[in-house]
Structure 1
Amino acid sequence: MNATIAMILALAVGTYAFRLLGPALHGRVELPQRAQELLSAGAVVLLVALLATGALTESSDFAGWARPTGVLVGAALAWRRAPFVVVVLGAAATTAVLRAVGVA
């Protein structure tokens, strides 16, 4: 067995074990309140970083102004509690119109 297959198998077993531990330890392990707050904040920071990377970059370069503007329109619609379909269509339409008029 070569090293690549061994690494894939090790990662698969580790992932399965990690996912199995969640339900197995639920209710048995108590995290301190501060740790729970830090984990929640970390999840938010990770999602914001993922959003910023997807909205602002394309192939390691700036994506242009149309995509971030569409994301901002979608965020504004979501903040105003518009239905999800309206949020997605509003963001896509904004980006499409800006690209159609020549805003890169």
Structure 2
Amino acid sequence: MSTWTAVLLGCALAYLLKVLGHVVPVRWLEGERTARVTSALPIALLAALVAVQTFTNTRGDLTVDARAVAVAVAVVALLLRAPFLVVVVLAALTAALLRLAGMA
């Protein structure tokens, strides 16, 4: 399968999912369980994305490096209620300093 075929199939699938979202009966979306799941889903997806990006290298192997320490610093800063920009800068500085020190 070529790259363009995969891109076009992905576009078609995204469009189909969007159309199906408009076709779903409203009563399916009004339930309490559905509301809880749909409100928690973005949090779970973001957490999974952060975990994958933090603990895998370019080959897909599990690794612990400066990124893991930077995420830990960001979590501590968030728990201390630091502004988001401060959290990002602290995490970036932590990763940069650890990589500079040789903990790539």
TM-score (normalised: structure 2):
0.70
Which has the higher Rg, Structure 1 or Structure 2?
1
2:39 matched to which residue of 1? 40
Most deviating of 51-60 and 81-90: 81-90
Unaligned stretches of 5+ residues in structure 2: none
Tell me which amino acid in the other structure corresponds to 1:41.
Answer: A
Q: 1:20 to 1:65 in 2, by over 3 A?
A: same
1:29 matched to which residue of 2? 26
1:80 matched to which residue of 2? 80
Of structures 1 and 2, the one with the larger relative CO (CA 8 A, separation 6+) is: 1
Aligned residues, how many? 101
RMSD between aligned residues: 3.1
Q: 1:37 to 1:88 in 2, by over 3 A?
A: same
- Do structure 1's residue 52 and structure 2's residue 27 form an aligned pair? no
2:14 matched to which residue of 1? 15
Most deviating of 38-47 and 70-79: 38-47
State the percentage of identical aligned residues: 37
Q: 1:9 to 1:103 in 2, by over 3 A?
A: closer
Following TM superposition, the consecutive aligned residue runs of length 4 or more in structure 1 with deviations greater than 6 angstroms are 4-7
Pairing of 1:62-73 with structure 2 (within 5 A) = 62-73=62-73
Q: 1:95 to 1:9 in 2, by over 3 A?
A: closer
Paired with 1:33 and 1:41, the residues of 2 have a C-alpha distance of 12
Tell me which amino acid in the other structure corresponds to 2:73.
Answer: V
1:93 matched to which residue of 2? 93
